[in-house]
Amino acid sequence: MVDLPSGARARPPMVQSRSVVIREVYAAGYRSLRAIRFPIDRLSIFVGANGTGKTNLYRALQLLQASALGTFSHELAAEGGMASAIWAGKRRDRRGAIITLGVVFDTDQIDGRRPTYSYEISAGFASHTENGTRMRIGAAFLDEPQVKDERLIIGVGKRQITMLERRGPSATVRNEDGLRTVLGTELMASETALGALADPTLSPELHAVRQTMSDWRFYHEFRTDSASPLRRPCLAVTSPTLSSDGSNLAAVFATLVHIREDTAILDRVIDDAFPGAQLVVPEPGRVASFGMIFQDHPKRVFEIGELSDGTLRYLALAGALLAYRLPAFIALNEPETSLHPDLLPSLARLIASASTRTQIWLVTHSEQLARALANCGQVEPRTVLKRNGETWIDGLQLAGTFASD
């Protein structure tokens, strides 16, 4: 690894995640999620068999982030539109078919109180049928998912203050002086009010929530084929956080090694997973790269293109969880995919350690990984199951709390 020269500059501190954390998530009318509300911990583990709806829980969070990014309708359209995404069980009629997603945040204590932020968005069909003819609702294409309502509420003690409210194409925002202001632009069916708040001075609280949600990272499909982003050349640009596709992995490692200049944790994680191995990160030029030296071949550096799929995927997870600056929230979808079972205890320790720096949500079908996380993270994995076609979580009560809590 890198030897520090004498008189090297002081190392920057490890950067912690933001203080806004998710307390609760709810979803209704989305795929197998008929109506569910549940609490979220610093480290939340959801385990279950294929087909129980774990991915739908994960995807609901992605759609909430898309509302902050302004891509909510596009994301729904990309997964098949309302006809595909709407709850498939019994409902009264097509006009009443609505998808509602929401999230509640906790914040740091201010003046003896701990404010909460609650954001909710609803979407429905942009058309209905009258006398056998499809009729457009508002300024939208017939098959387009249409954002119907949005609201963001701040709770301080028993007070509930509506900071953002959108009904149809119009929205109002409460500014820092407490005055309601009409959002200047009439919103189209595909736009979200939260995503349209480009001016941070209009409402600093709303901007903070939007920035926090935009900062979330979802890691669910690290490709490892020969053309994958992980194996392509990476430009040497300081990278505090791993991108969702892992394309800047070499730059993330280079930032830790040559900017942070502290490899103790990184070295320990590599040795825990691959005993006797060493991660080699050369000083970057125009591009950044890395390689591995293994115990069986101490004089040879295996370049990125030579690493096995499992080794490369584990290194990508290490880059995501050890990065110089972790995002406010990390979601992992079946991180055990393609990993050798012997790597799962090391992965569990890596995830549990990262949860001290940020909030982590994990869905998995690996009982072994769930048990390992329960042992080292001192958390209780939640079992996802199907109940009459509806995704539910074992032990969850209708009030939105777990019986064990």
Count of beta carbons in the 10 Å neighbourhood of residue 270? 22
Q: Which residues of 207-237 are buried (b: 16+ CB within 10 A; e: fewer)?
A: bbbbebbbbbbbbbebbbeeebbbbeebebe
Domain that holds residue 262: 224-322
**Comparison of pLDDT for 128 and 97, the residue scoring more:** 97
End-of-domain residue from the set 281, 297, 322: 322
The answer to the question of residue 4 being in a domain is no
Same domain, 64 and 208: yes
Same domain, 195 and 252: no
The string of DSSP letters for 57-126 reads: HHHHHHHHHHHHHT-HHHHHHHTT-HHHHB--S--S-GGG-EEEEEEEEE---BTTB--EEEEEEEEEES
1 pLDDT higher than 60? no
Same domain, 280 and 238: yes
Residue 6 half-sphere exposure, CB side, CA atoms within 13 Å?
A: 0
Same domain, 58 and 194: yes
What is the model's pTM? 0.88
Same domain, 34 and 183: yes
End-of-domain residue from the set 277, 299, 322: 322
pLDDT in tens, 214-233: 999 999 889 999 999 999 88
Q: What is the pLDDT of residue 309?
A: 95
Same domain, 69 and 86: yes
Look at 32-41, 118-127, 313-322 and tell me which has the smallest mean pLDDT. 118-127
End-of-domain residue from the set 272, 288, 322: 322
Same domain, 26 and 146: yes
377 pLDDT higher than 60? yes
Same domain, 229 and 208: no
The answer to the question of residue 381 being in a domain is no
The answer to the question of residue 371 being in a domain is no
The answer to the question of residue 119 being in a domain is yes
For the chain, the straight-line distance linking the first and the last C-alpha, in angstroms and rounded, comes to 45
Same domain, 166 and 292: no
Same domain, 91 and 193: yes
How many folded domains does the chain comprise?
A: 2
> For residue 277, what are its two tokens?
């191995």
